[in-house]
Amino acid sequence: MELEVGLRRALERGEFVIHYQPKVELATRRIQGMEALLRWNHPERGLIQPDTFIPLAEETGLIIMIGEWVLRTVCEQSSKWQAAGLPPMKMAVNISARQFKQQDLVERIGAILAETGFDPGLLELELTESYLMNNVDEAVAKLHGLKGMGLGLSLDDFGTGYSSLGYLKRFPIDVVKIDKSFVDDILINPDDATIVRTIILMAHNLNMKVVAEGVETGEQLDFLAEHGCEMIQGYYFSRPLPADGFAAMVRTWG
C-alpha cells in the first residue's frame, strides 16, 4: 500500500530515472544500441531496482503511465544525444504484459513517436513470449501494427517461458534475446551450451538475430561469437549506466 502511494508520487515528483546498457555488435565491436532500464530514485531508500516495483505497477495499472513516461523520456534523451553529436543508436524499451494488452497500444506508441519526433527505426520494443502466447492472433496483429510503423521487435528472456516454436515463426520478430540464466553456465554445463547453440541456429533459420544477455566474461563472449551470436549485452562491456555516464562511455569507445 505504502509502495503504491509511493509509486504514484514518484511519477509526479520525477523520481524515476533510466539507466542505459549497451548492446555491442560482435563483428565490429561497436555499440549497436542500448536497453533502457528503469530505476526508482527513492528519497529515503535510494535507488530501487525494477524487480521490486514493476510487479506492483503491473497489478495497479500504474505501469501504463510509467511505461509511457519511459518511452517519452528515452525518445527525448536519444534526440538530445544525437543533437550533441553522438551517433544514432537503437533504443530498446521493455514492454510489460499489461501495456501490451492495451487495445490501442500501436496508436499510443505512434502518438509518442509523433510528439517527440523520434525516428521509429531507432526504437525497439522488448517483449516476452509469456504474454505473446496468451492470445496469439491478437499478438500477431499488434506486432504487425508495430512493425508497420517501422519499429524493431525483440523477444526478451527467450527460453524461460513456454516457448512454442510453432508460434514463434508467426511473430514478426527481429531479434531473440538469450536469457542470462543460459549464458551463466555456458562453459560448464553442456546442456546450457546445447540450448544456446540451438537457440542461435533456430533464430537464424527464422531470419532473426541474436543478442546474448548477462555476458560477464571473455570466455562466454568467445563461445557466443564462435556460434554466430551477433550481439552481446552484459557487464563484460558495461553495467547499465545513467545517461551522462552512458554518453561518456560512447564518446571514449574504441
Contacts with Na ion, residue ranges (CB under 5 A): 156-157
Strands (E), 95-203: 123-128, 152-158, 175-178
**CB of residue 49 to ligand G, shortest distance in Å:** 5
Residue 6 CB, shortest distance to Na ion, in Å, is: 26
Kindly list the distances between the CA atom of residue 199 and the CA atoms of 88, 143, 157, 167, 181, in Å, as whole numbers in the listed order. Answer: 29, 21, 12, 15, 13
Smaller CB distance to Na ion: residue 129 or 156? 156
Choose one: 135-143, 162-170, 208-216, 220-228; the region binding ligand G (CB under 6 A): 208-216
- Find the binder of Mn ion among 124, 129, 156, 230 (CB under 5 A): 156
End-to-end CA distance of the chain: 47
As beta bridge partners, residue 127 has 155
Half-sphere exposure of 228 toward its Cβ, with a 13 Å CA cutoff? 14
Site string for ligand G, 7-46 (x = CB under 6 A): --------------x---------------xx--------
> How many Cβ atoms sit within 10 Å of the Cβ of residue 105?
18
Question: Does residue 94 belong to the site contacting ligand G (CB under 6 A)?
Answer: yes
Cβ atoms of 23 and 233 closer than 8 Å: yes
CB-wise, 178 or 186, nearer to Mn ion? 178
- Interface residues with ligand G (CB under 6 A) are 21, 37-38, 49-51, 54, 67, 70, 94, 96, 126, 156-157, 180, 213-216, 233-235, 240
